[in-house]
């Protein structure tokens, strides 16, 4: 790319971003605005509309040339403060990624790192890894430890057409040039909600710019599932991020805060009221996002409502989260991306893999379905017999059994009613058709939550039953 764009680092950064977006998602990123007109003047981008306001970077020649340079050449780079001594040999892609984090376009846009980080995380977990091999946790909770024969893996959770949940493990075959794309590029909060609900089969959710997380994925740890929400911090310098900056980033990764409040409504007030209401009805709110996070089945028990790990990534050096700071941060556990080990992952990536995957994406030759190694996830449903029995009612006390339960046959389900309605229950004759079925789970829950509702139902219905039973007895 040096021969194509010798001086413009902003254009190089965009080409770098687009290359890894293609590799991870298999599709073109959103068009850029007129603020990046340098992409056109340099020959890397082109206008796609008659008004010359939207720019696409999809020309094969400059992208393939840039990918070959990023993948094939290495340079010796001194990494200060990252735990390594001396100079280490890094891929050009990582070196330039770190430098691009410092750049900013005139319109305020910056490099979006989600696809590049996802690409390297996929390689880090391709054969399984311990959590401590990739992340640095301020403390070592019991749930975070790995047994020698069970390593943590990235998994894809996806639903089939009938709603059954399936699991596909990310392995080396998932990184082949023609494999299914690793990521799903979400453009709206509604897209993020769909991915969290396992309706978009992809290992990574590449979040939109207005999201506080850069990417989200699922780890399988000790046969349990764990969300990971990752956000980058810092500006690509050796200056560590201060404590307040880390706390702000981690607080933004809470499910209830993952989108800013003004995202779910239109900030621009020049739209008509109909457009405003349509926008608000279409967008998934933070409450829906939080519900999707909380609905993760077979989840790791981290001691919080949400089974998730909040991760902050800083480049080129890691900003550690001290234990004293982590203890003051409320919510799910927190961690930092181990930058040193992240750099080591790039050494294992085959050079041609980057180029071939890019070409497959440009030509549309990537697979579009999950592989055949997916397995069915057994999710406990609320309507299962055990759960339904648990929802009906707790076992009756001995006192209530004497007043009402003793008049019912032992084989029939016992309905727990308030004391003031127990006399009417004893006056009701037994109806074999009705009493042979258990009460619906929904009405049983209402009986538990609001006992005053049941006497109203019993006082309005038993009288016709008593009259009919009287005629039959005669």
Q: How far apart are CA 117 and CA 10, in angstroms?
A: 19
State residue 417's pLDDT score.
42
Examine residue 245 and state whether it is found in any structural domain, yes or no.
yes
Q: Judging by beta carbons within 10 Å of its beta carbon (0-12, 13-18, 19+), is residue 328 exposed, middle or buried? A: exposed
> Based on the domain organization, do 349 and 396 belong to the same domain?
no
Is the pLDDT at 161 greater than 80? The verdict is: yes
State residue 386's pLDDT score.
42
> Based on the domain organization, do 368 and 389 belong to the same domain?
no
Q: How far apart are CA 1 and CA 5, in angstroms?
A: 6
> Based on the domain organization, do 355 and 391 belong to the same domain?
no
> Based on the domain organization, do 25 and 149 belong to the same domain?
yes
State residue 261's pLDDT score.
61
Using alpha carbons, select from 308, 330, 325, 306 the residue that is nearest to residue 245: 325
State which residues form the domain around 436: 385-473
State residue 376's pLDDT score.
78
> Based on the domain organization, do 84 and 216 belong to the same domain?
yes
State residue 121's pLDDT score.
95
State residue 291's pLDDT score.
92
Q: Is the dihedral of CA 233, 235, 236, 238 positive or negative?
A: negative
Using alpha carbons, select from 354, 356, 320 the residue that is nearest to residue 337: 320
Is the pLDDT at 474 greater than 90? The verdict is: no
Which long-range contacts does 377-384 make (Cβ < 8 Å, 24+ apart)?
377/157, 377/164, 377/165, 377/166, 377/167, 377/297, 377/298, 378/298, 379/165, 379/297, 379/298, 380/297, 382/441, 383/441
Chain segment 339-386, per-residue pLDDT in tens:
888 888 877 787 778 899 999 999 888 887 665 567 777 665 443 334
Examine residue 155 and state whether it is found in any structural domain, yes or no.
yes
Examine residue 429 and state whether it is found in any structural domain, yes or no.
yes
> Based on the domain organization, do 359 and 395 belong to the same domain?
no
pTM of the entire predicted model: 0.73
> Based on the domain organization, do 363 and 436 belong to the same domain?
no
> Based on the domain organization, do 391 and 358 belong to the same domain?
no
For residue 303, what pLDDT band results from cuts at 50, 70 and 90?
confident
State residue 19's pLDDT score.
95
Examine residue 391 and state whether it is found in any structural domain, yes or no.
yes
Examine residue 127 and state whether it is found in any structural domain, yes or no.
yes
Examine residue 4 and state whether it is found in any structural domain, yes or no.
no
What total of structural domains would you count in the chain?
2
**Where is the domain boundary, 376, 398, 417?**
376
Examine residue 3 and state whether it is found in any structural domain, yes or no.
no
> Based on the domain organization, do 366 and 392 belong to the same domain?
no
For residue 457, what pLDDT band results from cuts at 50, 70 and 90?
very low
Is the pLDDT at 59 greater than 60? The verdict is: yes
**Where is the domain boundary, 346, 376, 406?**
376
> Based on the domain organization, do 393 and 309 belong to the same domain?
no
Of 76 and 122, more confident: 122
The whole-number average pLDDT for the span 317-337 is 84
For residue 72, what pLDDT band results from cuts at 50, 70 and 90?
low
**Where is the domain boundary, 357, 376, 395?**
376
> Based on the domain organization, do 367 and 440 belong to the same domain?
no
The percentage of residues in the chain with a pLDDT greater than 70, rounded to a whole number, is: 66
> Based on the domain organization, do 341 and 417 belong to the same domain?
no
Is the pLDDT at 425 greater than 80? The verdict is: no
Is the pLDDT at 260 greater than 80? The verdict is: no
What is the residue-wise DSSP string for 147-162?
Answer: -TT--BEEEEEEE-TT
State residue 435's pLDDT score.
42
The percentage of residues in the chain with a pLDDT greater than 90, rounded to a whole number, is: 36
State residue 348's pLDDT score.
74
Examine residue 67 and state whether it is found in any structural domain, yes or no.
yes
Average pLDDT value for the chain: 74
Chain segment 191-227, per-residue pLDDT in tens:
999 999 999 999 999 999 999 999 999 999 988 999 9
Residues of the chain by 3-state class (helix, strand, coil), percent to 5? 40, 15, 45
- C-alpha pair distances (Å), 443 with each of 161, 164, 328, 440, 459: 30, 27, 43, 6, 16
């Amino acid at each position: 790319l040096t021969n194509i764009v010798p001086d413009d680092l902003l254009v190089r950064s965009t080409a770098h971003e687009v290359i890894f977006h293609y590799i991870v998602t298999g599709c073109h990123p959103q068009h850029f605005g007129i603020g990046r007109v340098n992409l056109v003047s340099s020959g890397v981008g082109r206008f796609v509309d008659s008004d010359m306001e939207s720019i696409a970077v999809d020309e094969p020649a400059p992208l393939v040339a840039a990918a070959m340079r990023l993948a094939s050449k290495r340079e010796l780079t001194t990494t200060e403060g990252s735990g390594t001594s001396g100079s280490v040999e890094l891929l050009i892609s990582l070196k330039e990624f770190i430098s691009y984090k410092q750049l900013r376009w005139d319109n305020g846009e910056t490099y979006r790192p989600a696809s590049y980080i996802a690409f390297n995380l996929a390689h880090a977990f391709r054969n399984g890894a311990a959590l401590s091999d990739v992340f640095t946790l301020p403390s070592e909770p019991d749930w975070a430890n790995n047994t020698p024969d069970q390593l943590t893996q990235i998994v894809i959770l996806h639903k089939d057409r009938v709603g059954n949940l399936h699991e596909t493990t990310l392995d080396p075959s998932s990184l082949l040039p023609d494999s299914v794309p690793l990521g799903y590029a979400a453009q709206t909060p509604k897209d993020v909600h769909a991915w969290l609900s396992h309706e978009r089969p992809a290992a990574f959710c590449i979040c939109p710019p207005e999201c506080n997380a850069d990417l989200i994925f699922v780890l399988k740890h000790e046969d349990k599932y764990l969300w990971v929400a990752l956000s980058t911090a810092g500006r690509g310098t050796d200056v560590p991020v201060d404590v307040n900056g880390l706390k702000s980033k981690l607080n933004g990764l809470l499910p209830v805060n993952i989108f800013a409040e003004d995202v779910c409504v239109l900030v621009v007030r020049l739209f008509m009221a109909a457009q405003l209401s349509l926008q608000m009805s279409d967008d998934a709110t933070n409450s829906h996002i939080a519900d999707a996070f909380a609905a993760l089945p077979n989840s790791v028990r981290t001691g919080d409502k949400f089974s998730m790990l909040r991760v902050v990534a800083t480049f080129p050096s890691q900003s550690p989260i001290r234990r004293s700071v982590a203890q003051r941060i409320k919510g799910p556990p927190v961690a930092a991306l181990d930058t040193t080990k992240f750099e080591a992952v790039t050494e294992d990536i085959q050079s041609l893999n980057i180029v071939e995957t890019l070409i497959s994406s440009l030509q549309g030759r990537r697979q579009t379905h999950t592989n055949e190694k997916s397995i069915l996830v057994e999710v406990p449903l609320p309507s299962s017999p055990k759960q339904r029995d648990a929802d009906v009612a707790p076992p009756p006390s001995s006192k209530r059994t004497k007043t009402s339960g003793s008049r019912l046959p032992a084989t029939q389900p016992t309905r727990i009613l308030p004391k003031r309605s127990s006399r009417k229950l004893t006056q009701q004759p037994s109806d074999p058709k009705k009493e042979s079925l258990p009460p619906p789970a929904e009405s049983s829950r209402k009986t538990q939550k609001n006992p005053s509702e049941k006497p109203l139902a019993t006082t309005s219905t038993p009288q016709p039953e008593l009259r009919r039973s009287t005629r039959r007895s005669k």
